[in-house]
Structure 1
Amino acid sequence: MSVWGARLVPVLHQAWRRSLQVRVVTITLLASSLLVGGFAYLIADKITNILLENAEADVQDRLNSGAAYAAKQLGFYHKPEEAQFQETVDGTVNYLAGGDPQQATGVVVALIADNADGVVQPRTAPAVDDFGSLISPELRATVAGGEVASQISTGRLGETDTKYLAYGSPVPTQFGQVELYYLVSLTRQDATAADARATVVGTGIALVVLLGLLAALVTRLVVTPVRVAARTAQRLSAGLLDQRMAVNGEDDLALLAEAFNQMATNLQRQILRLEEMSRLQRRFTSDVSHELRTPLTTVRMAADLIFAERDGFDPAVARSAELLQTELDRFEELLTDLLEVSRFDAGFAALDAEPTDLVPVVHRVVGRLACLAERVGVTVELDLPSGPVIAEVDPRRVERVLRNLVGNAVEHGEGRPVRITVGVDETAVAVTVRDHGLGLKPGEEKLIFNRFWRADPSRARQTGGTGLGLSISLEDARLHRGWLEAWGAPGQGAQFRLTLPARAGDRLTSSPLRLVPADARLPCGGPREGGLLAIGQGSAGVLAVGPAPDGRAEARP
């Protein structure tokens, strides 16, 4: 295949896949070409057969009358050696050929006497050299046997090779039998058939082209509004909510345009209403959070005084002071989380990235949660690289994400060890937090990052969480252009993976650590270890995650 052909094939394939008009016109041209070509072949063949049949009928009539005339002229002779017999043969042939032996009529007449060979000279009019080569031995033998026969052959009747029709008939005489042959040129019939074929082919090509143009015009009338609707829908999806289609006429396409415009209007109205409600909700959350700060500060001061003097109270009042202090801590944490959520919703969250070693960050998180882990009987295990793990991240936000992940793992670990693993490669760093608690039911890994969602609302909450921790952690990961994903199975615990680019702003393509734990038990009939696909929420929404050939987890949006 040439270079141009190699370049043209992908272009044609792309046009075929993307253009409905190209497909319709191409199919119309192919179908019409086959149909018109078939009809053209049948018509041309029919015309050729008619011309040949007419030529054969004409030659047969002339042969029958010529045979009768020759039999009458030669019937007076008892022997071919009689005087003037050859002159009679010559005169008969000339008469049957048209009277004038020099006049070209397109017909060659020959009279041969095989049983008197050497006595009667073969005679042709007009004269033809080597007449014997123009008649096949089979035709000559059939005519000599007393039957009328014919053949179509090509030979030199004049100065050029000519396609001709040869007919032979026996002529009975008193001394035996002679053979009369008519050779008729088919040049005129061939020319007529060629003209008919050219006319049919030209008409067919013109018809195919007209059908292609008609198909292109019809499909354009249909496809153009669809393309306009697609472009308008793309603009609507890009946020240009005032885009509408032009309505022309009252046909089905106009009805489609009106329905599309009505849908766009309703969508615009609903989106504006939802945006307004979302704006009011964000403003309400922000205002309430700020307004509650002042009374909370006053209540906090009074509660701190009461909590400091609780040893002098009776046991019931002392317990109430402790509960008040605990609930105020939870209330203050909730306000802090609501303020953070409002900043994310308003788009005011900013990333303060700097080169940071994640190993000390992990140690700080574990140290701050050591009391909680000791209280619930959970051991925290660390699997850290021997050297530093440097990445351009916001250390405050990364520490908050890890604190939420480790805190949840400790709380839901059911007294079993929690393992924290840190991995790094050339483009990314990752931290996994593995617990062996109740785990997640199928589908919950897509809901766990929703605000205020809990896998088990009836479970006793040791840490008094607000239900916003994982949601805020997900936003922190997205702010880094990273991933925060979850895996879990009933009875096998859960594992969360935080993957961040090593350089701020880079795009992630894989993670140094696998999402599915190596000790996970796969369901019967499922893929072998290392082949499970898990679903998790990441920076691009829902991600399908599975291990790469080198053992790393590979993410595919």
Structure 2
Amino acid sequence: MRAPAWLPLPVRRILRVVRRYWRVLVRRFAVWSSPARRAWRRSLQLRVVALTLVASSLLVGAFGWFIAERSANILLSRTQDEVQISMRNKVAYAEQQLSVHPTARDPRLPTTFTTIVSQLADGDPAESGGSVLSMRAGQYADLLPVNLPNNVDTEQLVTPELIRRVSDDGKVARQIVTARVNGHTTKYLATGSPVPTSFGHVELYYLVPLTTEDSAAAQIRATVLATGLALVIMLGVIAGLVTRLVVTPVRVAARTAQRLSAGLLDQRMKVDGEDDLALLAASFNQMAANLQRQIVRLEELSRLQRRFTSDVSHELRTPLTTVRMAADLIFAERDEFDPAVARSAELLQAELDRFESLLTDLLEISRFDAGFAALDAEHTDLVPIVERVADRLSGLAERVGVTIELRLPDTPVIAEIDPRRVERVLRNLVGNAVEHGEARPVQITLASDDAAVAVTVRDHGIGLKPGEERLVFNRFWRADPSRARQTGGTGLGLSISAEDARLHGGWLEAWGAPGEGAQFRLTLPVRSGDRLLAAPLPLIPRDREPVLSPASGETAEPKAEVV
């Protein structure tokens, strides 16, 4: 996001620098946290333990805070009750001692004040934790001597707020204050009370240190914290152990499933006990046994099918050769026969050609299934191959009213390929395009780059329905079996072409849309054995019109299948 133009130039520069450093920090944080995020995504046990620790920490923390605060309040309340009782006794004693003085000008009054303070003081206030007693005579303050033991200054302990509440309201008031007395910072509970006298207003202030209560509250907090921490750790350990009991069989099942998918069909899980996990292991083993039986059975059926196809194909070669020799002889002499017999000879020759093509395809498929297909690669120019394929299919194209358009580069396109197999692939692709072209032009485009060569065959016929681009390479599959065919196809051409492309380490891809035709793309590496990363030509034609979805009216992109 760019800085607004109305900001001053220095501000914009600062913002650009900040954004640059921020992006660097974000990238570094992403790199640094990548192992943790990967572990979080992959480990169920880690997520369960982490969530347990977070939830238990919040719960124990809230409960511990409540316990600690409640304990501190109870200690303070108990101290306040004790101070209130003691304060009541001290006020009664001070009132009794001052009642013998009828006026404020009694010369014995200062001595009485000193005696009261000395008698009511609890312990030595100079020591940390000692209570402090103070008296205040209001307008008779000049009559009070230095009335506290050890000259403790109570100015910071007896606050103006507390004096106002006691002197103005005439009620008992208390306040918690923290002050530094004799070099120690101590928290005090300051309580003030008016003392009734016959000559005026006298106030008594009793300050009790809360050192013991604070120490007890701190110990309670420490105990609660330690207990809570131990409880959280214990819950985490328990969660880890419990999760491990559940996750370990799941991990074993996952590893066993991976081994099964890799072909190790004899892998089984260990069954311990009679609980749900044992039931899971037993069910998994039963499933694996059933899968093993089915896979072995299917492999045996597939092997028998391949063997049957190969044997039948080879066994039919000998009678086909004999029938071919006789048919060729009859076909050569057909002009001397009656018209009906001559026509029969022509039909016999055509059907023998179709049968021989089917037999050749079956033999080729059996070689692929048996793993005997080999690539005879050599450096070859693809331009003559494309021209030769177009020339051989020109007669069929003229019969169906299709024009074959070649878009070939002016320079040779050299690649390390098997010319026979590539020519067979292109012959199948162009033959299908001509057959399904609906009397519209078929374009053949050849292009190359440093790493790959690509040939696209584009027709403008009926096209492919959604999902059919995944089926066109299946054996014996046809888009519309009811259509009249101009060629005696076997339904194996595209399947063999796909195997030829795989043998080269290349791609054979299909695209189609209803009413817009189809396009097939063959992509091969320039050097045999190289890995393909991209194709020089697009799979979806550039002249393709967008397809509108009838339900939403939005543009729908047809799918393509990569083989």
Q: Does 1:51 align with 2:93?
A: no
Name 1:421's counterpart in structure 2.
Answer: 445
Given the superposition, is the C-alpha separation of residues 420 and 478 from structure 1 closer, same or farther in structure 2, using an over 3 Å criterion?
Answer: same
Question: Hey, what's the Cα distance between the residues in 1 that align with 2:501 and 2:275?
Answer: 52
Give the counterpart letter for 1:476 in structure 2.
Answer: D
After TM superposition, give the deviation of residue 4 of structure 1 in Å: 9.6
Please tell me whether the aligned partners of residues 125 and 132 of structure 2 are also in contact (alpha carbons under 8 angstroms). no
Q: Does 1:232 align with 2:256?
A: yes
Question: Hey, what's the Cα distance between the residues in 1 that align with 2:363 and 2:390?
Answer: 26
Given the superposition, is the C-alpha separation of residues 446 and 102 from structure 1 closer, same or farther in structure 2, using an over 3 Å criterion?
Answer: closer
Name 2:372's counterpart in structure 1.
Answer: 348
Name 1:338's counterpart in structure 2.
Answer: 362
Q: Does 1:437 align with 2:461?
A: yes
SS in 1 for 2:476: coil
Please tell me whether the aligned partners of residues 128 and 158 of structure 1 are also in contact (alpha carbons under 8 angstroms). no
Given the superposition, is the C-alpha separation of residues 87 and 4 from structure 1 closer, same or farther in structure 2, using an over 3 Å criterion?
Answer: farther
Please tell me whether the aligned partners of residues 430 and 500 of structure 1 are also in contact (alpha carbons under 8 angstroms). yes
Contiguous gaps of at least 5 residues in structure 2: 1-24
SS in 2 for 1:495: strand
Please tell me whether the aligned partners of residues 188 and 208 of structure 2 are also in contact (alpha carbons under 8 angstroms). yes
Q: Please give the TM-score of this superposition, normalised by the length of structure 2.
A: 0.91
Please tell me whether the aligned partners of residues 111 and 122 of structure 1 are also in contact (alpha carbons under 8 angstroms). no
Name 2:161's counterpart in structure 1.
Answer: 138
Aligned length: 534
Question: Hey, what's the Cα distance between the residues in 2 that align with 1:536 and 1:2?
Answer: 38
Q: Which moved more, 1:98-107 or 1:481-490?
A: 98-107
SS in 1 for 2:150: coil
After TM superposition, give the deviation of residue 8 of structure 1 in Å: 4.3
Structure 1 segments of 4+ aligned residues over 6 angstroms from their partners = 1-6, 99-105
After TM superposition, give the deviation of residue 2 of structure 1 in Å: 11
Give the counterpart letter for 2:155 in structure 1.
Answer: G
Q: Does 1:194 align with 2:225?
A: no
Q: Does 1:283 align with 2:307?
A: yes
Name 2:275's counterpart in structure 1.
Answer: 251
Please tell me whether the aligned partners of residues 112 and 122 of structure 1 are also in contact (alpha carbons under 8 angstroms). no
Question: Hey, what's the Cα distance between the residues in 1 that align with 2:207 and 2:521?
Answer: 98
Q: Does 1:506 align with 2:530?
A: yes
Question: Hey, what's the Cα distance between the residues in 2 that align with 1:326 and 1:62?
Answer: 128
Name 2:19's counterpart in structure 1.
Answer: none
Matching residue within 456, 459, 479 for 2:483: 459
Question: Hey, what's the Cα distance between the residues in 2 that align with 1:25 and 1:96?
Answer: 60
After TM superposition, give the deviation of residue 102 of structure 1 in Å: 8.8
Name 1:166's counterpart in structure 2.
Answer: 190
Matching residue within 35, 39, 53 for 1:11: 35
Question: Hey, what's the Cα distance between the residues in 1 that align with 2:296 and 2:249?
Answer: 27
Please tell me whether the aligned partners of residues 235 and 243 of structure 1 are also in contact (alpha carbons under 8 angstroms). yes
Question: Hey, what's the Cα distance between the residues in 2 that align with 1:478 and 1:128?
Answer: 104
Please tell me whether the aligned partners of residues 192 and 204 of structure 2 are also in contact (alpha carbons under 8 angstroms). yes
Given the superposition, is the C-alpha separation of residues 442 and 266 from structure 1 closer, same or farther in structure 2, using an over 3 Å criterion?
Answer: same
After TM superposition, give the deviation of residue 261 of structure 1 in Å: 0.4
Q: Deviations over 1:15-34 (max 9, x none)?
A: 11110011000000000000
Q: Which moved more, 1:30-39 or 1:405-414?
A: 405-414
After TM superposition, give the deviation of residue 7 of structure 1 in Å: 5.4
Name 2:325's counterpart in structure 1.
Answer: 301
Please tell me whether the aligned partners of residues 429 and 499 of structure 1 are also in contact (alpha carbons under 8 angstroms). yes
Matching residue within 49, 55, 61 for 1:31: 55
Question: Hey, what's the Cα distance between the residues in 2 that align with 1:4 and 1:60?
Answer: 63
Please tell me whether the aligned partners of residues 418 and 435 of structure 1 are also in contact (alpha carbons under 8 angstroms). yes
Given the superposition, is the C-alpha separation of residues 102 and 75 from structure 1 closer, same or farther in structure 2, using an over 3 Å criterion?
Answer: farther
RMSD across aligned positions (CA): 2.0
SS in 1 for 2:559: strand
Question: Hey, what's the Cα distance between the residues in 1 that align with 2:151 and 2:416?
Answer: 105
Question: Hey, what's the Cα distance between the residues in 2 that align with 1:108 and 1:2?
Answer: 60
Given the superposition, is the C-alpha separation of residues 434 and 534 from structure 1 closer, same or farther in structure 2, using an over 3 Å criterion?
Answer: same
Please tell me whether the aligned partners of residues 439 and 492 of structure 1 are also in contact (alpha carbons under 8 angstroms). yes
Question: Hey, what's the Cα distance between the residues in 2 that align with 1:69 and 1:37?
Answer: 48
Give the counterpart letter for 1:129 in structure 2.
Answer: V
Given the superposition, is the C-alpha separation of residues 154 and 323 from structure 1 closer, same or farther in structure 2, using an over 3 Å criterion?
Answer: same
Name 1:310's counterpart in structure 2.
Answer: 334
SS in 2 for 1:306: helix
SS in 2 for 1:165: strand
Please tell me whether the aligned partners of residues 482 and 538 of structure 1 are also in contact (alpha carbons under 8 angstroms). no
Name 2:247's counterpart in structure 1.
Answer: 223
Q: Please give the TM-score of this superposition, normalised by the length of structure 1.
A: 0.92
Question: Hey, what's the Cα distance between the residues in 2 that align with 1:215 and 1:404?
Answer: 63
Please tell me whether the aligned partners of residues 128 and 184 of structure 2 are also in contact (alpha carbons under 8 angstroms). no
Q: Deviations over 1:477-523 (max 9, x none)?
A: 11112111122222222211111111212222221111222222222
Name 1:551's counterpart in structure 2.
Answer: none
